[in-house]
Amino acid sequence: MSATLDSLPSSSREPSGAAPSPAGPPVVAVVGGGQLARMMAPAAGELGIHLRVLVEEPMSSAAQVVTDTPVGVASDEAAIRSLIAPSDGVAASVLTFEHEHVPNALLTDLIEHGTPVRPGPHALVQAQDKIVMRRRLTELGVPCPRWAPLPASSPEEGRAALAAFLDEVGGEAVVKTSRGGYDGKGVRVVSSPDDVADWFTAVADGGPALLVEEKVPFVRELAALVARRPSGEVRAWPVVESVQRDGVCSEVIAPAPGLSAELDGRAREIATTVAEGLDVTGVLAVEMFEVAGPDGGPTVLVNELAMRPHNSGHWTIDGAVTSQFEQHLRAVLDLPLGATTPTAAWTVMANVLGSTLDELTDALPEVLAAFPEARVNLYGKGIRPGRKLGHVNVSGDDLDEVRRRAIAAAALLRGEPVETTTEEEANA
């Protein structure tokens, strides 16, 4: 992979090791104050690492549990500069992120002035722009769905290119905005250019470019999670199945049921190739589709990348020796990575997406009584329909039971009526 690294502009590379803090523990500066930054806090506390998080609002999810939380937005250069500048005499050892929407030119400048930025801007761009990502993955030989960028020169040319692609793939395809999408916003299944007429108009008005992909007839969705540190060490967790509802992850099953050791190895190998090929530092999630290969046996295609802890890795908090949040901190500080071994046969993570309750904590008496083994994690966010408000992890030996209980506990937190017999009662 050295050829890949050599081809990077020298300004976007950085020396390995974290910049030493003049005094005290290392300071990890994180851009973004949502649940991902919040879930870094317990691991930082345990390792004695100081977290400093740029939060959007004083009561953002992360600000409720982290003590050092300047307020500002990721697009504000001055806010990011002051995030890494000395505070009480201590500058940030490293800058990292809980989302990819950050200004890359600024990051390059910070690196030139001596602050390690992990992952670096040369890697981040591949997670910010789905067209850039597809091009690079194709160059790396990573298997992807058939795809094409849609010309942004004029709506007519864009529509003609989409119509041609639809003809080629049999009438149905998936159009995506190259930038700014998340949780299925920015992804649409189409059978005619009219289905994305509004997006073509938006492109003409300066909105993000579009790409089209074949609609993959996947058996299920998988995610391969790895972490890589600047000195090169890479560790991968077992590959998981992720279940989406309306484009949003609703459940993760770890490890993916029935996945052969061969395909697990193949998916991990692809994620490692991506981490090394793009010089990713920190946690990398590679979303994949499991499909029938040319010989009929199962194989994988890469959907997209996230260069940060990811929803598909929340199970690791309670189901693996090292959580993705601790691993991300270790990786960005260039510390030895932790074991990724599962601590139970199965762990199922169920997301709490929206709730009819006034406060999620109102459900705690019932949830904790009914599911004493469940690991409940609430994010302290305001309730909105479909919003990711928390998750529940349940581990055990019986996958059906583990899955049923994780889903039921999450349903209670959404305010839905649920049959809450305990395992003991059910067995009595």
422 binds, among ligand ADP, Mg ion, none (CB under 5 to 8 A by kind): none
Helices (H), 29-119: 35-38, 41-47, 77-84, 104-112
Judged by DSSP in three states, 204 sits in helix
Query: Is residue 131 part of the contact set for ligand ADP (CB under 6 A)?
Result: no
Judged by DSSP in three states, 221 sits in strand
Helices (H), 7-72: 35-38, 41-47
Query: Is residue 155 part of the contact set for ligand ADP (CB under 6 A)?
Result: no
**Strand pairing partners for 292?**
298
Query: In angstroms, what is the minimal distance from the CB of 212 to ligand ADP?
Result: 9
81 binds, among Mg ion, ligand ADP, none (CB under 5 to 8 A by kind): none
145 binds, among Mg ion, ligand ADP, none (CB under 5 to 8 A by kind): ligand ADP
Interface residues for Mg ion in 273-302 (CB under 5 A)?
287
- 68 burial via Cβ count (<10 Å: 0-12, 13-18, 19+): middle
Please say which residue, 174 or 320, places its beta carbon nearer to ligand ADP: 174
The secondary structure of 56-70 as a DSSP string is SSTTSTGGGT-SB--
Query: In angstroms, what is the minimal distance from the CB of 304 to Mg ion?
Result: 5
Query: Is residue 247 part of the contact set for ligand ADP (CB under 6 A)?
Result: yes
Query: Is residue 386 part of the contact set for ligand ADP (CB under 6 A)?
Result: no
Query: In angstroms, what is the minimal distance from the CB of 71 to Mg ion?
Result: 29
Among 14, 98, 100, 221, binds ligand ADP (CB under 6 A): 221
Per DSSP (E only), the strands in 134-190 are: 147-150, 173-177, 187-190
Tell me the CA end-to-end span of the chain in Å, nearest whole number: 58
279 binds, among ligand ADP, Mg ion, none (CB under 5 to 8 A by kind): none
For residues 356 and 413, give the distance between their C-alpha atoms in angstroms, rounded to a whole number. Answer: 9
* CA nearest neighbour of 174 among 216, 142, 127: 216
Interface residues for ligand ADP in 196-215 (CB under 6 A)?
213, 215
Query: In angstroms, what is the minimal distance from the CB of 218 to ligand ADP?
Result: 6
Judged by DSSP in three states, 338 sits in coil
Virtual torsion, Cα 283, 288, 290, 293, nearest 10 deg:
-110
Q: How far is CA 386 from the centre of its chain?
A: 18
184 binds, among ligand ADP, Mg ion, none (CB under 5 to 8 A by kind): ligand ADP
Which tokens go with 308?
């940060």
Among 82, 87, 104, 244, binds ligand ADP (CB under 6 A): 244
- Site track 166-195 with ligand ADP (rule: CB under 6 A), x = hit: --------x-x----xxxx-xx--------
Among 120, 145, 238, 338, binds ligand ADP (CB under 6 A): 145
Judged by DSSP in three states, 423 sits in helix
> Which positions touch Mg ion (CB under 5 A)?
287, 304
> Which positions touch ligand ADP (CB under 6 A)?
145, 174, 176, 181-184, 186-187, 213, 215-216, 221, 244, 247, 287, 303-304
